[in-house]
C-alpha cells in the first residue's frame, strides 16, 4: 500500500509539471498579446532580444481613434449575442424537453441528426441565406443578426439540452400533473429548476459561439450595424492595418468579457456535455 | 409527463420555425438556384443544369482548396484530439486549483477565429515576431515568416488551428472522463496497468460515443475553415492555403460570381453531410452494441 501511495504522489507531481508546461505553451501567445496591449513590445534588434516600452493604457484609447465606432460595436456584439443565446435556449429547451418525453421510432436518429446539423460549417448555407435575408428586409438589421445567430447555434443546444433533460426522472413532473399543473407550470416550476445548471452552461457556450461568429454577421450586413469580429476583419482587408499594440488592445478587450464569464461560471460549465448517455 | 398533441405543437413549433425559416428554406432555395444562372443581381435567370458544379470542379483553385482541406483535416483533427485528450486526462482527477487550470486551458478557444488570425499575423510577421525573439536568444538573426513560405504556410495554419481547438476538445472530453466510474481506474492501478493501458482499456471504451460526437464537430469545423486563413494568408502564397470555404466566399462576395460561390458552398455542405451519415451509422452501432 505504501508504494501505491508513493506512486500516487509521484503521479501528482508529474501531472502538475505537464499541466504547467501546457498552460505556458497555450497561454504564451496570449501573454505576448496582453503585454503588447499595455505597451511592452519585444525589441529584436538587441542581442539578446529585450523588451522596450513602458506600461501605458494609451493603446486602449487608440482603439477608439482607429475605429471610432469600436465601443458601439462592442455593445452591439454583447447585446446581439445575449439575445441570440436567450432565443436559442428558449426554442431548444422546449424542443429538447419534447424530445426527451416522447417515444417514437427514430428518436435516437433524430437526436443525432441535430449534431450533424450543428457540425455544418456556416459557409455551407450562408450564401443563399444572405440573399433571402436581404429580400425579406432583414439584411443589415439587428433582428436579422439575432435570429440568424440563434438558428445557427440552436442544433447544438438541442443536442446538449436533450442529453441533460432525459437524465431527469419524470416522477416529479407526474406529481405536478396530478396536482393539476399544465405544461408551462411543469416546465417552469419542476423541469427548469432541476435543469438550471445545464441550461446556464449551454447558454454561456452559445453566447461564446455567437460572440465569435464572423461569417454570419459579415454577409448579413454592409456597414449599418457591425459586430466586433466584422470590425476586426475590416481592419485587415481594407488595408488600413492597425498598429500591433492597438490591435492587441482590441483583442484583449474582445476576450476579457468571455474570460470573465468562463471564470465566474467554470463550475457550471462542467455541465455542458455532449455525452448523452451519461448515467447509463 | 404525457404530452398531448397540443403540448407537442407548443414545444416543437418555435424551433421548427427558427430552423426551417433561417436554415432549411434558404438552403433549399439556394440548392435549387445552383442549377440556374441565378444571382441576386441578375436581370434574367436561365436553367443551367450542372454547369455551375462542373465549373467549380474544373477550377484549379477549388482543386487546390480541396487538397489543402483534406491535408488540413487529416492532420489537425487527430492532433487536436490527442492533445485535447491528454489535457483532459491530466485534469480528470481532483487537483489543487482544478477550476483555475480548466479556465486557463479554455482561454485559447475563447479567442474568436478572426482575432486568432490577427494575433498570429503579428506573432509571426515583422518586428513584433515571436519567432525572431526566440531566434535572437539562440544567436540567430531574423527568421523568415513561415506564412510567406509555400511549404510552411499550410502547416502553420494547421498549427494555429490546433492551438485554438485542442482546448475546446479538452473542455468537451473532461465531463465524460470525469464520469468514468472510479473503481475502473482503481482496479487498473492496483493491477499495475501503465497509463497507456488505462487509456486504451478504461478511458477509450467508456468515451466512445462522446469521442464520435467530438470528432464529427471537429471534422465539420475543419472542412469549413475560413476565418483565420482569410486574415493570415488570404489563401496564399499562390494557392498554398486556399480552402473551399475561402474559395466560395471570394467567388460569391468578392468577385461577385454568385452561382459559382453558391455551388461550391453546397459541395462543402455535401461533404459534411456525407461525414454526418457515417457518424449516424457509427453512433447507432455504439448505442445498440
Q: Which residue from B minimizes the CA distance to A113?
A: B280
Sketch the domain layout of chain B as residue ranges.
68-240
Please give the class, per CATH, of domain A69-269: mainly alpha
pLDDT tens sequence across A15-56: 889 999 999 999 999 999 999 899 888 877 777 777 888 888
% of chain A residues with pLDDT over 90? 50
A266–B227 CB contact, under 8 Å: no
Position A207 pLDDT exceeds 90: yes
B14 touches chain A (CB under 8 A): yes
Average pLDDT over residues A116-122: 93
B26–A97 CB contact, under 8 Å: no
Which site among B110, B178, B289 would you substitute to test the A interface, given the most A Cβ atoms closer than 10 Å to its Cβ? Answer: B110
Per-residue model confidence (pLDDT) at position A147: 95
User: What is the H or E stretch that residue B151 is in?
Assistant: helix B150-178
Identify which has the larger pLDDT, B150 or A208: A208
Q: Which of A170-174, A214-218, B222-226 has the lowest mean pLDDT?
A: A170-174
What is the DSSP code string of A74-134? HHHHHHHHHHHHHHHHHHHHHHHHHHHT---TTHHHHHHHHHHHHHS-GGGTHHHHHHHHH
Per-residue model confidence (pLDDT) at position A69: 86
Distances from the Cα of B182 to the Cα of A280, B188, B254, angstroms: 15, 10, 55
Sketch the domain layout of chain A as residue ranges.
2-56, 69-269
Per-residue model confidence (pLDDT) at position A2: 64
Q: Which residue from A minimizes the CA distance to B218?
A: A119
Closest to B27 (Cβ–Cβ): which among A115, A125, A251? A125
Q: Output the CATH code of domain B68-240.
A: 1.10.3720.10
pLDDT bin (cut points 50, 70, 90) of residue A187 is very high
**What span, in angstroms and rounded, lies between the C-alpha atoms of B193 and B34?**
57
Position A74 pLDDT exceeds 70: yes
Kindly report the pTM of this predicted structure: 0.93
pLDDT bin (cut points 50, 70, 90) of residue A277 is low
Q: Provide ipTM, 2 decimals.
A: 0.92
In this structure, are residues B280 and A112 in contact, taking their beta carbons and an 8 Å threshold? yes
Residue carrying C-alpha cell 487608440: A62
In this structure, are residues B277 and A98 in contact, taking their beta carbons and an 8 Å threshold? no
> Splitting chain B (289 residues) into consecutive groups of 10 residues, what average pLDDT does each group show?
85 94 90 88 84 92 95 97 93 82 92 91 80 74 78 93 95 89 82 83 87 95 91 86 94 90 94 96 73
Per-residue model confidence (pLDDT) at position B289: 42
CB < 8 Å from B in window 149-178 of A: 150-152, 154-155, 158, 170, 173-174, 176-177
Amino acid at each position: 500500500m505504501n508504494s501505491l501511495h508513493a506512486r500516487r504522489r509521484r503521479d501528482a507531481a508529474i501531472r502538475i509539471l505537464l499541466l504547467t508546461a501546457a498552460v505556458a505553451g497555450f497561454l504564451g501567445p496570449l501573454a505576448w498579446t496582453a503585454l503588447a496591449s499595455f505597451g511592452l513590445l519585444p525589441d529584436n534588434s538587441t542581442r539578446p532580444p529585450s523588451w522596450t516600452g513602458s506600461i501605458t493604457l494609451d493603446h486602449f484609447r487608440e482603439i477608439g481613434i482607429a475605429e471610432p465606432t469600436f465601443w458601439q460595436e462592442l455593445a452591439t456584439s454583447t447585446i446581439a449575442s445575449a439575445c441570440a443565446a436567450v432565443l436559442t435556449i428558449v426554442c431548444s429547451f422546449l424542443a429538447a424537453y419534447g424530445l426527451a418525453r416522447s417515444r417514437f421510432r427514430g428518436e435516437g436518429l433524430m437526436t443525432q441528426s441535430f449534431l450533424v446539423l450543428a457540425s455544418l460549417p456556416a459557409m455551407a448555407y450562408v450564401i443563399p441565406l444572405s440573399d433571402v435575408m436581404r429580400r425579406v428586409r432583414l439584411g443589415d438589421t439587428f433582428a436579422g443578426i439575432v435570429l440568424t445567430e440563434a438558428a445557427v447555434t440552436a442544433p447544438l443546444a438541442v443536442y446538449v439540452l436533450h442529453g441533460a433533460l432525459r437524465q431527469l426522472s419524470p416522477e416529479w413532473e407526474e406529481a405536478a400533473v396530478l396536482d393539476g399543473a399544465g405544461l408551462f407550470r411543469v416546465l417552469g416550476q419542476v423541469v427548469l429548476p432541476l435543469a438550471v445548471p445545464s441550461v446556464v452552461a449551454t447558454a454561456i457556450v452559445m453566447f461564446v459561439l455567437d460572440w465569435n461568429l464572423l461569417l454570419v454577421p459579415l454577409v448579413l450586413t454592409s456597414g449599418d450595424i457591425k459586430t466586433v469580429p466584422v470590425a476586426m476583419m475590416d481592419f485587415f482587408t481594407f488595408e488600413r492595418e492597425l498598429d500591433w499594440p492597438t490591435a492587441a488592445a482590441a483583442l484583449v478587450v474582445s476576450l476579457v468579457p468571455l474570460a470573465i464569464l468562463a471564470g465566474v461560471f467554470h463550475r457550471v460549465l462542467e455541465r455542458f456535455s455532449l455525452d448523452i448517455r451519461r448515467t447509463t | 409527463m404525457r404530452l398531448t398533441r397540443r403540448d407537442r405543437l407548443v414545444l416543437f413549433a418555435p424551433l421548427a420555425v427558427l430552423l426551417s425559416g433561417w436554415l432549411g428554406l434558404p438552403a433549399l432555395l439556394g440548392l435549387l438556384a445552383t442549377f440556374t444562372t441565378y444571382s441576386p443581381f441578375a436581370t434574367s435567370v436561365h436553367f443551367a443544369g450542372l454547369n455551375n458544379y462542373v465549373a467549380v470542379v474544373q477550377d484549379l483553385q477549388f482543386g487546390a482548396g480541396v487538397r489543402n482541406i483534406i491535408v488540413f483535416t487529416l492532420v489537425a483533427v487527430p492532433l487536436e484530439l490527442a492533445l485535447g485528450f491528454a489535457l483532459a486526462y491530466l485534469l480528470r482527477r481532483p487537483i489543487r486549483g482544478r477550476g483555475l487550470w480548466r479556465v486557463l486551458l479554455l482561454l485559447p478557444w475563447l479567442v474568436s477565429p478572426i482575432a486568432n488570425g490577427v494575433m498570429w499575423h503579428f506573432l509571426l510577421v515583422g518586428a513584433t515576431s515571436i519567432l525572431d525573439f526566440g531566434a535572437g536568444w539562440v544567436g540567430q538573426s531574423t527568421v523568415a515568416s513561415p506564412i510567406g513560405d509555400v511549404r510552411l504556410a499550410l502547416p502553420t495554419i494547421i498549427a494555429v488551428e490546433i492551438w485554438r481547438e485542442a482546448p475546446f476538445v479538452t473542455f468537451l472530453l473532461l465531463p465524460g472522463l470525469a464520469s468514468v466510474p472510479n473503481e475502473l481506474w482503481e482496479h487498473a492501478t492496483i493491477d499495475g496497468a501503465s497509463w497507456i493501458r488505462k487509456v486504451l482499456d478504461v478511458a477509450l471504451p467508456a468515451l466512445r460515443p462522446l469521442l464520435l460526437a467530438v470528432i464529427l464537430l471537429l471534422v465539420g469545423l475543419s472542412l469549413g475553415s475560413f476565418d483565420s486563413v482569410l486574415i493570415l494568408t488570404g489563401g496564399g502564397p499562390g494557392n498554398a492555403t486556399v480552402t473551399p470555404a475561402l474559395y466560395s466566399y471570394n467567388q460569391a462576395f468578392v468577385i461577385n460570381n454568385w452561382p459559382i460561390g453558391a455551388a461550391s458552398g453546397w459541395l462543402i455542405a455535401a461533404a459534411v453531410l456525407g461525414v454526418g451519415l457515417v457518424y449516424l451509422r457509427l453512433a447507432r452501432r455504439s448505442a445498440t452494441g
